Amino acid sequence: MRLLSLLAGLLVCSSAIAQPDLQERLKAVQGDPAALKAAVEAGKKASFFCANCHGEDGVSKMAEVPNLAGQNAAYLLEQIRKFGAGERKDQFMQGLIKVLKDEERLQIAAYYASIPVPPGKADPAQVARGKELFTKLCVRCHGDQARGNEAIARLAGQRSSYLQTSIVRYRDNTGVRNNQLMTIATAGLKNEDVAAIANYLTQLP
């Protein structure tokens, strides 16, 4: 698997240039039911190597790996671009994504977006507190159903463990992604607050 990381220099410039057009292409595909169906079917085949970590249906079985099922297609496509361009850092992900053609990137994003994500298991005792904190700190950007949009991640149904790790990294500035709004929003959270938010989000449909 690590051999693919040796391909780190491929397609960086061409992918970065093609992305705006690729987002427009995605919108066109989404507006054409027949084209979208074909893209989803092709994406299922193209994403075979993603299943090792993200699960065959986009539902991760690994604590540190996020679910991709149900995520917004435009958001996924942008994250794929960022990994390919080195703006998001993960040696393995960067190596894999850089060998994908633009159309394959679009197809994979369409495929995962088409799969419903099942709600995760939560501690009922923490859900109410988590909802309160989410409504206060997060709803303005992530939406009242935590489904995000083209530029902001869907959090509903995400793995609780992954959510907690991500929130703590933003809070403590220890992750590879920096976002001033996220840092501000999470700055005052205690670990038990983080756990409550994660429990609330994971059980959302």
Which pLDDT score, from 0 to 100, does residue 9 have?
A: 34
Domains defined along the chain, listed by start: 2-113 (1.10.760.10), 124-202 (1.10.760.10)
Confidence of residue 14 (pLDDT cuts 50, 70, 90): very low
- pLDDT over 90 percentage in the chain: 79
Residue 157 to residues 11, 123, 149, 176, 178: CA-CA distances in angstroms?
33, 14, 15, 23, 23
Whole-angstrom Cα distance, residue 22 to residue 27? 9
Per-residue pLDDT for 11 more than 50? Answer: no
Rounded to two decimals, the pTM is: 0.87
Residue 97 to residues 18, 21, 90, 134, 179: CA-CA distances in angstroms?
14, 18, 11, 32, 23
* Residue type, position 59, single letter: V
The three-point CA angle 73-78-82 to 5° equals: 145
Q: How high does pLDDT run on average in the chain?
A: 90
What average pLDDT does this structure show over 55-64?
A: 92
- Phi, psi values for residue 59, rounded to 5°: -105, 110
Which pLDDT score, from 0 to 100, does residue 177 have?
A: 76
Per-residue pLDDT for 138 more than 60? Answer: yes
Which pLDDT score, from 0 to 100, does residue 91 have?
A: 84
Residue 11 to residues 15, 24, 25, 42, 89: CA-CA distances in angstroms?
6, 20, 19, 21, 16
Residue matched to tokens 């992604």: 177
How many CB atoms are closer than 10 A to CB 84?
27
Alpha helices in the chain (DSSP H): 12-30, 33-46, 51-54, 73-85, 91-97, 102-113, 124-137, 139-142, 160-172, 180-186, 191-202
* Residue type, position 198, single letter: A
Confidence of residue 20 (pLDDT cuts 50, 70, 90): confident
